[in-house]
Structure 1
């Protein structure tokens, strides 16, 4: 199965642009290869079983479920976070959506340092280990 990219994944969602205006930052310079590399590099660094499962599905052609990158790298919609943190959004074919928060190494490589999602109506955040 593996990862797929929504045809509009690199286009800022007009709803968020309208809702947040100047606070909505969308970074269209990140490409598919960088996203796939970040997903691959994250495998084995998160303990949560749901997160392990989606990372394995996304980074392997032998994954059991499809994973789609819905929205490219953008600033979180939650302005209460108190900072400028970028994430991209993926969803598996079971309907679970995940926000993958990224940082950048000195050499320019992006990596995933936090993943948040909703499990049984509760928000969960897990961190890179």
Structure 2
């Protein structure tokens, strides 16, 4: 699949997911509380090389995982205060920003505060690694 085809397919999938409120983030893979599953607001922007999606990153248990559509991603460098909370300077329980899908296996979260976290897809994952309590 070429980048252009990936971007188009991703944009269409993201639009459908946004309309259905299915693009979710969080530390839990369950279907519980709305706080654990913030939804994407807005519409994705597709460029020649990437798809940019407005994104609410779940930070309550630190920055370690993200779910984009049905793909589970993990942070290349997880961030925490050492007690499974977000580090200083991050909002809690979520951080508003954008997720840029660079490829089917790479994504980057950025926000207006200047944070940047790179994510890689977890091959074969069908749930989060750790359930946030």
Q: Please, what TM-score do these two structures have when normalized by structure 2?
A: 0.38
Q: Please, what TM-score do these two structures have when normalized by structure 1?
A: 0.39
Structure ranking higher in helix proportion: 1
